[in-house]
Amino acid sequence: MSLRLIAIETGNTRTRIGRFDGDALEAMESHANEHLEAIATTVADWWSEIARGDADRVMVSASVNEPIAARLRGMIDDRTGAEVYVIGEDLPIPIGESLDPETITGQDRLLAAAAAWDTLKQACIVIDAGTAVTVDFVDGEGTFHGGAIAPGARMQLQALHEHTAALPLLEFARPDATEAFGRNTAQAMLHGVYDGIRGLVWRLVERYSESYGAFPMVVATGGDAELLFGDDELVNRIVPELTLRGIAVAARHAMADDGGDGGPLRRDHA
């Protein structure tokens, strides 16, 4: 029986929601966290839409911004009366970890890694380019080894503006590709951020590959992934919805772990 799933990913600044029918992503939206009412309304509409036939339906939430996520879950409960299951509390992320003891890793990183491994079933490097830029490694056995965390593009531009006397606040954009040099302040800042992130990723991929002894598949996700890596020969795939797919993988594994009758997910039968 196909599972109908609404996945909710609350990040530092934005929330993404996805509607799945089995493994197929039917719809996806992304909203700034200031627009929780709109997000909750869309989720409630989707919840009604997927109540058809004999399909089972669940809602699952993951977050790196729990205060916002908790508010959103409350709004959804008010509109639907349905329980929103929480990654890390109601169901685990299905990926092994090789990290220092007591390390707490962001759910977004682990979910993206779980989705990449579930699809590729081979060693891979996962880049998430959003508020922060993370570059993580998953080995050929499906074990997450961690990686690197750096400020994202907008965070860098904001810091340049706030911690200097003369640099403007810019929107992130691709710098002028016809010029190797930033011939004005704005272009110099954009070159520094854009090429800096790309250079960072290239160096980390080289180091991970040297350590592993092979060159893994490289997958990118996050709001800035296409802008940063759309023309980058280093990146094999760009999957904007990778973390949402990780939530779907976690839900599927939770069902399978209990013989397919829902596991820790006490599903709502439409």
pLDDT by residue (tens digit) across 64-101?
Answer: 999 999 999 999 999 999 999 999 999 999 999 999 99
Domain membership flag for residue 91: no
Q: Are residues 251 and 224 in the same domain?
A: no
Q: Are residues 222 and 252 in the same domain?
A: no
Task: Specify the range with the lowest mean pLDDT, choosing from 49-58, 166-175, 187-196, 224-233.
Answer: 49-58
Q: Are residues 77 and 133 in the same domain?
A: no
> pLDDT-based confidence at 266, cuts 50/70/90?
low
Question: Percent of the chain having pLDDT more than 90?
Answer: 86
With a cut of 60, say whether residue 264 has pLDDT above it: no
What is the pLDDT, as a whole number, of residue 56? 84
Q: Are residues 144 and 213 in the same domain?
A: yes
Q: What is the DSSP string of 43-86?
A: HHHHHHHT--TT-EEEEEEEES-HHHHHHHHHHHHHHH---EEE
Average the pLDDT over 203-217 and give the result: 97
Domain membership flag for residue 205: yes
Domain count within the chain:
2
CATH of the domain at 222: 3.30.420.40
Domain membership flag for residue 98: no
Domain membership flag for residue 128: yes
What is the pLDDT, as a whole number, of residue 263? 54
Which range marks the domain in which residue 45 is found?
Answer: 3-86+244-269
With a cut of 90, say whether residue 6 has pLDDT above it: yes
Identify any residues that bridge with 207 across adjacent strands, giving them in sequence order: none
Q: Are residues 114 and 194 in the same domain?
A: yes
> pLDDT-based confidence at 3, cuts 50/70/90?
confident
Bridge-based pairing of strands 132-138 and 124-129 is antiparallel
> pLDDT-based confidence at 234, cuts 50/70/90?
very high
Q: Are residues 112 and 57 in the same domain?
A: no
Domain membership flag for residue 220: yes
Q: Are residues 121 and 77 in the same domain?
A: no
Q: Are residues 252 and 134 in the same domain?
A: no
With a cut of 90, say whether residue 116 has pLDDT above it: yes
Q: Are residues 252 and 234 in the same domain?
A: no
Domain membership flag for residue 97: no
Domain membership flag for residue 95: no
What is the pLDDT, as a whole number, of residue 22? 87
d(CA 204, CA 33): 31
Average the pLDDT over 183-190 and give the result: 97
With a cut of 90, say whether residue 210 has pLDDT above it: yes
pTM: 0.91
Question: Percent of the chain having pLDDT more than 70?
Answer: 93
Domain membership flag for residue 93: no
User: What is the average pLDDT value for the chain, to the nearest integer?
Assistant: 93
Annotated catalytic residue within 108, 118, 139, 268: 108
Q: Is 114 helix (H, G, I), strand (E, B) or coil?
A: helix
Q: What is the pLDDT of residues 125-139, one digit of tens each?
A: 999 999 999 999 999
Q: Are residues 128 and 36 in the same domain?
A: no
Using the Cα atoms of residue 44, residue 224, residue 135 and residue 219 in order, give the sign of their dihedral. positive
Q: Are residues 66 and 186 in the same domain?
A: no
Other C-beta atoms lying within 10 Å of the C-beta of residue 213 = 7
Active site residue 108: yes
d(CA 149, CA 136): 9
Q: Are residues 248 and 232 in the same domain?
A: no
